[in-house]
Structure 1
């Protein structure tokens, strides 16, 4: 089989991969090429994968590592314990930048997302490169954030519920999401276990910087998040049915663009087990509340 063709989509993040039909029977050489593209570009996209169903998506994901359950608190799709059904057709919004499941001590290493139903326009997904975000910080600011730790949690955000378009629907969703409360203290800068790169570990689940007042903590998080989501660090993907995106959850944040109204938008996500983040000083993340062992093993 010829080598894959990898075409960058944006200057700092994202590439489209062609020349491969995804599934569970890919050769080790092809999987190695996909891994390299993922580590290099942080998020990679595959068009024209309409042949994939739930079992095919799962078989492909298993080639990238051991799977987590669908989510620590949200039920899986049907009888499949690994697929999270992301159905936003009812107006539900997940419109804040985040890294997947950072409220536990073992966030996923990668996510595999497959488009099932997408609107004719709108509903794109944005990804941000948290490695280049760190690298483009001023040196003095890098020195500061290297030493910070932040608390991530899935606890209710009551202000967000009150200001949502449908508070009752948002409250019901939040009750499921936080049915078991998790809190974890992570380094704000983690060292990537494969590349050795430093990346920013924040996003919507990061609620406060440990040891700082609420006002100072909010200011620092906002300052760093603004750098993460600067347009130069981002890529935007226009979905078509059958598209598959794979991203390195250790080096990215992402969010949905909610400009599609009530039109159907449904995607299926599978996540790959990750390690416990380690900071620049070698200190790992620490659990404050909750036990995530049923959700995911710790990757070797």
Structure 2
């Protein structure tokens, strides 16, 4: 296999890594290179890791930190408590921009996603760099966001249920997702614990800004989200079976492109335990509802 190499995929986010055979026995210097590249590029892509199975995927993830449970409320894949089985053949849709599990006080540090079955066309995933999104805001908006805090929750959007293709199935999924209610107040801008960069912490789990009227809150969230997801801040990945993506959950948002109809699409995700976000003013996130201790240890 060729030596470790990094090829940027887009101008502001994403790099493809070659020359690495992912498993739980990678040398320490290779793990250090992966960690460094992740901080620089926010999301990394590894092609043709067909040798991985659920156990070896988790073993690789352990090199990046402590794996969390699969999800705070959604059951894990049978036989492995760390694997979330994202099987889109059951009609589920995750087609809105989000950062993983921000409704708890300790969102994951990173996610490791492996393609098991993907359609021959469609079903790409998009990622956005929330650091460059912040950096390219006008100074006046950056100053405003530095002072704001937002409430994130896993409370499902029941308006969306009514508009879905299968309301009953969507309602059943929502009942599982919200079987325990989580709400957390986060800073809208968090300081990255390793790089010191400022990153926007919003996404689809952010429901309102603290201290603002509902209409103003919704308008500001929509404005900032539209900036985060500008194409200049994004990268798009066309999956092949065996591909692995690793992203820094502290500095990104992502979403699926649902253009694959009823074709099968299945991926397995492992998340790495994260820390409690800290705002520009030094204030940490605050739990309003729910205890995530059994879902995830706190990252050291």
Which TM-score tier does this pair reach, normalised by the shorter chain? over 0.9
Aligned to 1:202: 202
Aligned to 2:159: 159
Aligned to 2:279: 279
Distance in 1 between residues matched to 2:12 and 2:273, nearest whole Å: 25
The answer to whether the aligner puts 1:66 opposite 2:66 as a matched pair is yes
Distance in 1 between residues matched to 2:125 and 2:270, nearest whole Å: 16
Secondary structure, counterpart of 2:147 in structure 1: coil
Aligned to 1:9: 9
Deviation string 1:151-182 (CA, Å, 9 cap, x unpaired) is 00001211111111111111000000000000
Distance in 2 between residues matched to 1:56 and 1:95, nearest whole Å: 28
The answer to whether the aligner puts 1:18 opposite 2:18 as a matched pair is yes
Aligned to 1:186: 186
Aligned to 1:217: 217
What is the correspondence of 1:245-256 to structure 2 with a 5 Å cutoff?
245-256=245-256
Secondary structure, counterpart of 1:271 in structure 2: strand
CA drift at 1:3? 4.7
Aligned to 1:288: 288
Secondary structure, counterpart of 1:269 in structure 2: strand
Contact persistence 2:68–2:272 (CA under 8 A): yes
CA drift at 1:79? 2.0
Q: Give unpaired runs (5+ residues) of structure 2.
A: none
Deviation string 1:67-91 (CA, Å, 9 cap, x unpaired) is 1000000000002110000000133
CA drift at 1:2? 7.0
The answer to whether the aligner puts 1:51 opposite 2:31 as a matched pair is no
CA drift at 1:99? 0.1
Contact persistence 1:3–1:30 (CA under 8 A): no
The count of corresponding residues between Structure 1 and Structure 2 is 300
Contact persistence 2:3–2:18 (CA under 8 A): no
CA drift at 1:266? 0.1
The answer to whether the aligner puts 1:237 opposite 2:264 as a matched pair is no
Aligned to 1:142: 142
Contact persistence 2:105–2:285 (CA under 8 A): yes
Distance in 2 between residues matched to 1:3 and 1:214, nearest whole Å: 53
Distance in 1 between residues matched to 2:87 and 2:174, nearest whole Å: 15
Secondary structure, counterpart of 1:89 in structure 2: helix
Q: TM-score, normalised by structure 2?
A: 0.99
Contact persistence 2:2–2:18 (CA under 8 A): no
Q: TM-score, normalised by structure 1?
A: 0.99
Contact persistence 1:100–1:107 (CA under 8 A): yes
Contact persistence 1:6–1:15 (CA under 8 A): yes
Distance in 2 between residues matched to 1:90 and 1:78, nearest whole Å: 16
Distance in 2 between residues matched to 1:291 and 1:90, nearest whole Å: 29
Deviating beyond 6 angstroms after TM superposition, the runs of 4 or more aligned structure 1 residues are none
Secondary structure, counterpart of 1:133 in structure 2: helix
Distance in 2 between residues matched to 1:163 and 1:189, nearest whole Å: 32
Secondary structure, counterpart of 1:146 in structure 2: helix
